[in-house]
Structure formats: C-alpha cells, structure tokens
Amino acid sequence: MTRLVAGNWKMNGSLAANRDLLDGLMAVPGVEMAVCVPYPYLAQLLERPAGVALGAQDVSEFEAGAYTGEVSAGMLAEFGCRYVIVGHSERRALFGEDDAVVGRKARAALAHGLVPIVCVGETLAERDEGRVMAVIGRQLAAVLDALGVAAMAQVVVAYEPVWAIGTGRSASVEQVGEVHAAIRSWLAGQGVAAAAVRLLYGGSMKADNAAALFAVPDVDGGLVGGASLVAADFMVISRAAGGGV
C-alpha cells in the first residue's frame, strides 16, 4: 500500500513561517504526504505544493449547533481537508477526551468524507505493567463500536507511545514491530479488513531514525510532530518512506 507521512504541526506556525515551510516541500513519488495544521491556517494551505494533502488536528463530534469554539467535519471538508487527527494523546490527557468521544469524532469525520487518523498508545507505566495491547485494544474497540466493522477499514491508525511523544525518545524498531503486528492482528480478529488499514508510527520520528522505522514490517507511514516543522527534515522522512527516492 502507499505509505502516508503526515505532519502534525500542533499549535505552531505563523503566516510567514508557514510560507517558508511550504516552499521547501515537494511531492515524493510513491508516497502520500499530508500536513495537519491549526484551524486558522487552513485557508492559507489552500495554496500548497501539489501532492501534499491537507489535514486538521481535531474535529468536533457534533454536526452543527451551539458548540462555541468547535469546528465541524463539514467545515473541514469545505476547506479541502482529506485527513483529521482524532484521539491524539495530548487531546486525551490535556482536554479530557475519552475513548467514546474519539470514536464519535472518527464517525463524524467519515460522514463527511474525511479520513480519521486515530491515535492510540500507552503510557510508560502501562508499558511497564505489560498492558500495551490491553490499552490499545480498549482505545480501538471504542472506535470500532462507533463505526462498525466495514467502516473501521477506512481509518488510519497511528501508534504513538505516549512516552515517546515530544521526548526525543523513540520506541525501538523491535517494540514498534511488535505493537504494529499486534494491532493488525487485533483488527483482523474483530473481522476488520486489517490488510487495508494503514498503520503509522508516531513518537519522535525524525530524519535520522525514519529509514530504520520504515524498514519495520507493518509500518505504513509516520505521524510526524516536531520534524514536520522543518522542511528539510520532513522531506528526508518522506523520501525514506519512499525507499530513499
């Protein structure tokens, strides 16, 4: 399947900095690239390099109405978004989003033709307790309950161990391979067309470790944080996803 490299800018950017960043991006043959940007910059990103898809970092579970500060999937679709991140660990930890909310957000995204990038992952304590797949299985089960088996095959799953996000510490290739294989097995066990689901790795993916991570079976791309803010680094990662082309 075509690998996906999605940049998560988080709460970073400015009109000038964004322009400079975009000037340094270009499509990589055989790789799908995307940038998930703060809402105010969606309009600016209407003009972006060919071959780079647009995404958002969150979406409301609600269709419309009296939900001050929320942004609906329909609004994102109007701006040409293809992807939207749901359930990022920062949303879960800092803003209290539980598994059921993440499932409803994924459902809202799909209803408007957006592809939800569903983030899952364990804390260091949960890993040390041997509960990695218990946690990830619970997170995925809520999305499956909201979507159903057929629609679940349309999502992208991003494995982001919480202990490796923004810490500079990446999971080892052995750890990544083990979890990605377990996620695909879990999906297949629920009757989902698991081979069709792209599994991304996130969690301090950088220019110097991307090639090794992409060499791991079942790694179908990356969800890139800090390195997506540096055009040269994002391009190195994207080229690594394409086998170095």
List residues with catalytic annotation: 88, 160
In this structure, what DSSP letter does residue 65 have? S
191 Rama class: left (phi>0) / alpha (psi -120 to 50) / beta:
left
Q: Which residues contact 29 (CB under 8 A, 6 or more apart)?
A: 242, 245
Q: Which residue has the tokens 């071959």?
A: 51
CA distance 51 to 184: 28
Residue ranges in 5-148 assigned as alpha helix (H): 15-23, 73-78, 89-95, 99-111, 124-128, 132-147
In this structure, what DSSP letter does residue 195 have? G
CA distance 180 to 176: 6
